């Protein structure tokens, strides 16, 4: 099976047969390979531990080694593995570069990376260089160059790197993807997505995360203090990119970004900690609402928002719009020309059932597991399946580079007053020959 074919299958609505198999133990894997997949973890704080617990629910996964800069995190995660009936994994906690020692092991098929954002790419690169299949948590790129390094390492080593963007595996977005493939929305024209989530307390104080910066706060705090950019673009963008066949017959051509003034974090600190508290003196770099518009090769636009510093209900703001209808997450509704009552949203739930993605249809039979409404379990199923069969990643290094690059590219555009900046083609032209099914 060629890389192109596999990637097309994912995008084509049937996803990988392997993922299906992971959901149904009665079926035999096509290659017959049932050797355990040996997965190490780099970063086992809150997020890493959640992923660890979820991956342990899969058949045929062994955890030989774990790495974290914090000993208590490490010990707790070792306990988790033992409690799941496996040998206590080796531990690596000798400073921030101890992961490099872990990657020297010869018993790792794959690693999951769930560290603070700026470590994702260097760790992914080191793992690929060590010949180890990567599953990387999401976050922003630090630079465009970093995205290129990621892609080039993949191409020079031949080792896959999967971007663990769980939003692609959410039930609603997989049904919408399925509908798009079936043509229900017609030719796609416009999409929306974003990360609109009130994280003020967490950003200001950095509570709830393991690694505290010397100046207080965590990696999210640091990014808010230093960057004016969409620093968390991939939940909003990932499912839209899949619907639009980005990197598979389509590509991002340009991005223009616009930041509001920064008011929300200081207002929160004043109201909650007092005007004399040190947190109320911080000069935040990031605008409260970042709006980006991505123009695509095939003539579509995507509106993307980042909005984490103001009080508001959470939403991903997903909207997928075509010549025959549209889906809106915020409306929790769908409108199909000639089928829906004129000018009125239909509740999405009926369509969810009718157009359930085949993977989710199987999944629901066995029961939803793990975090983020079950999407973590599905993404890890796909990850382990890809590793087992040495298949390319269903959300691959080109997706990872393109989606993460929103951060530095939006930063550039904002610095230029909203001027569109060109989007690098990380596929090096391969998007032209990888057509949607």
Among 215, 419, 428, 432, binds a second copy (CB under 8 A): 419
Cβ proximity to a second copy, 157 vs 295, nearer residue: 295
Residue of 18, 264, 394, 424 that binds a second copy (CB under 8 A): 264
The C-alpha R_g of the chain, in whole angstroms, comes to: 21
Q: Toward a second copy, which CB reaches closer, 323 or 433?
A: 323
Question: What's the min distance (Å) between Cβ of 246 and a second copy?
Answer: 15
- The nearest distance, CB 206 to a second copy, in angstroms, is 20
CA angle 381, 58, 37 (to 5 degrees): 80
Nearest distance from residue 228's CB to a second copy, in Å? 12
Number of H helices, E strands in the chain: 17, 16
CA distances from 304 to 173, 229, 294 (A): 16, 12, 8
Its sign, for the CA torsion 356, 357, 360, 361, is: positive
Tell me whether residue 71 or residue 330 sits nearer to a second copy (CB atom): 330
User: Near a second copy by CB under 8 A, which window of 16-24, 216-224, 227-235, 297-305?
Assistant: 297-305
Q: Does 323 bind a second copy (CB under 8 A)?
A: yes
Instruction: Write the burial class of residue 28 (CB in 10 Å: 0-12 exposed, 13-18 middle, 19+ buried).
Output: exposed
Binding residue for a second copy (CB under 8 A) from 147, 241, 289, 409? Answer: 289
- CB of residue 431 vs a second copy: minimum separation in angstroms? 18
Conformational region of residue 313, where left means phi above 0, alpha means psi within -120 to 50, and beta covers everything else: beta
Q: How far apart are CA 20 and CA 290, in angstroms?
A: 38
Quick one: 417 exposed, middle or buried, by C-beta within 10 A (0-12, 13-18, 19+)? exposed
Around 16, how many Cα atoms within 13 Å sit in the side-chain half-sphere?
Answer: 32
Q: How far apart are CA 333 and CA 327, in angstroms?
A: 6
Residue with tokens 């997020």, as numbered in its chain:
47
Nearer to a second copy, 49 or 228 (CB): 228
Restricting to residues 145-204, name those near a second copy by CB under 8 A. Answer: 186-187, 189-190, 198
Binding mask 341-370 for a second copy (x = CB under 8 A): --xxx-------------------------
Among 30, 57, 79, 330, binds a second copy (CB under 8 A): 330
Applying CB under 8 A, the residues found at the interface with a second copy are: 186-187, 189-190, 198, 254, 256, 258-261, 263-264, 267, 287-289, 291, 293, 295, 298-301, 303, 307, 310-314, 321-326, 328, 330-331, 333, 335-337, 343-345, 417-420
């Amino acid at each position: 099976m060629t890389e192109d074919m596999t990637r097309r299958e994912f995008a084509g609505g049937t996803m990988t047969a392997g993922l299906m198999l992971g959901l149904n133990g009665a079926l035999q894997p096509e290659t017959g390979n049932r050797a355990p997949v040996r997965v190490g973890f780099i970063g086992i704080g809150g997020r890493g531990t959640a992923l660890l617990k979820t991956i342990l629910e899969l058949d045929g996964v062994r955890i030989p080694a774990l790495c974290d800069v914090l000993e208590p995190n490490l010990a707790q995660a070792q306990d988790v593995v033992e409690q799941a009936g496996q040998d206590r994994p080796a531990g690596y906690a000798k400073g921030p570069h101890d992961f490099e020692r872990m990657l020297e092991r010869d018993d790792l098929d794959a690693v999951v990376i769930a560290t603070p954002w700026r470590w994702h790419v260097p760790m992914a690169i080191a793992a690929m260089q060590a010949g180890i299949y990567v599953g990387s948590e999401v976050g922003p790129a630090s630079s465009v160059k970093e995205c290129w390094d990621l892609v080039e390492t993949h191409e020079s080593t031949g080792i896959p790197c999967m971007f663990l963007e769980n939003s692609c595996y959410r039930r609603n977005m997989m049904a919408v993807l399925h509908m798009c493939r079936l043509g229900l929305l017609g030719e796609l024209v416009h999409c929306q997505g974003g990360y609109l989530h009130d994280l003020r307390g967490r950003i200001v104080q950095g509570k709830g995360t393991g690694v505290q910066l010397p100046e207080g706060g965590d990696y999210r705090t640091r990014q808010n203090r230093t960057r004016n950019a969409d620093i968390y673009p991939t939940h909003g963008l990932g499912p839209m990119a899949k619907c639009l066949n980005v990197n598979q017959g389509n590509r991002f051509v340009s991005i223009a970004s616009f930041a509001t003034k920064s008011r929300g974090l200081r207002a929160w600190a004043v109201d909650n900690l007092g005007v004399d508290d040190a947190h109320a003196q911080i000069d935040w770099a990031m605008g409260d609402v970042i709006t980006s518009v991505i123009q695509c090769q095939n003539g579509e636009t995507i509106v993307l928002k980042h909005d984490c510093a103001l009080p508001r209900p959470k939403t991903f703001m997903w909207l997928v719009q075509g010549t025959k209808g549209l889906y809106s997450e915020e409306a929790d509704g769908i409108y199909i020309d000639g089928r829906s009552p004129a000018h009125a949203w239909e509740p999405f739930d009926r369509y969810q059932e009718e157009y359930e993605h085949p993977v989710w249809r199987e999944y629901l039979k066995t029961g939803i597991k793990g975090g983020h409404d079950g999407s973590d379990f599905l993404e890890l199923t796909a990850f382990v399946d890809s590793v087992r069969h040495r298949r390319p990643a269903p959300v691959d290094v080109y997706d990872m580079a393109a989606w993460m690059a929103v951060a530095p590219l939006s930063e550039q555009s904002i610095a230029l007053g909203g001027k569109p900046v060109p989007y690098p083609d990380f596929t090096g032209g391969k998007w032209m020959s990888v057509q949607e099914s």
